[in-house]
Amino acid sequence: MATETIAGHEIDVDDEGFMTDSSQWTEDLAPELAKAIGIDALTDDHWKAIRFVHSDFGEEGESPTVRRVSVETGLSTKQLYQLFPKKPGKKMAFIAGVPKPTGCV
């Protein structure tokens, strides 16, 4: 496990850069994490998904699937792919400070 400094915060990350301790996440980290994976600005819809993913992980103990995020937030799967291109589940988890979803390669 490695430690990185992002937005002035020391965070523990795995080999792929995913945070390993979701309690270290704060909302001011999200824009920096998003930029690191090519998302320059976070819209209200981005935040709706990100906040849900972080909260749901805290309640369920695992990163939610794209389908679960879609159903629970009201954002369609198509919208999620537009907001988080190519791999929305992985990108949402990365920005929300939770582990990579199971099933993501």
Please state, in angstroms and rounded to a whole number, the distance separating the CA atoms of residues 96 and 7.
Answer: 14
Catalytic residue among 45, 48, 81, 104: 104
In tens, the pLDDT along 32-55 reads 999 999 999 999 999 999 999 999
Active-site residue flag, 75: no
Q: State pTM to two decimals.
A: 0.92
Residue 4 host element (H or E): strand 2-6
Token pair listed for 9: 């915060």
Judge whether residue 104 has pLDDT over 60. Answer: no
Question: 12 has which bridge partners?
Answer: 3
Judge whether residue 105 has pLDDT over 60. Answer: no
- What is the 8-class DSSP label of residue 29? T
In tens, the pLDDT along 54-103 reads 999 999 999 999 999 999 999 999 999 999 999 999 999 999 999 988 76
